[in-house]
Amino acid sequence: MKITYKINDKISYQELQNLFEEMDSIKGELFWARDIFHYSWRTKKQELIALKKSTFITARVDNKLIGLVRLVDDGVFDFYISEVMVIPSLQGKGIGKELMNKTINYCKKVGFIKIFISALPGKETYYQQFGFKPAMSQVLEIKFKDVKHD
């Protein structure tokens, strides 16, 4: 199996949906994949905008998307890794590690100040192997569904 990695790859809406469907079979110790990636909350219109505004580092086999890292960034200083995915049947084969290494190298070339990632409880050590450590400040979030809308 020959895996092709690409920095700043363009992916289609359907490719992303296919990957989400494959990820949906994962039930972690705490969360279903659908609860982590919140893809059921995303409209096609929103996702198409996000696809254009995100930087993707991808892994493909025979041009099929099998894994990705999605970066949301200002292009220079701050990068947020919002999604790391490898299809379940190919997890544990080093694809996620290669995607993370390529992502960090991409950010190094640009000259980042900080790279952020949110790790599920118990998964922190996976990301620590790439140099991530607890931040000075706790990350806080607000979800659209939790806000009152007029």
pLDDT tens, 23-41? 777 655 444 455 555 566 6
Domain extent for 137:
3-146
pLDDT at 31: 46
Average pLDDT over residues 86-111: 95
d(CA 72, CA 62): 27
d(CA 38, CA 40): 5
Start-end of H helices in the chain: 13-23, 33-37, 44-53, 95-110, 124-128
Q: Between these two residues, 132 and 30, which has the higher pLDDT value?
A: 132
pLDDT tens, 61-77? 999 999 999 999 998 89
CATH code where residue 10 lies: 3.40.630.30
Query: Taking the model in full, what pTM does it have?
Result: 0.85
d(CA 27, CA 88): 11
Residue 47 has pLDDT above 50, yes or no: yes
Element (H, E) at 17: helix 13-23
What is the tally of structural domains in the chain? Answer: 1
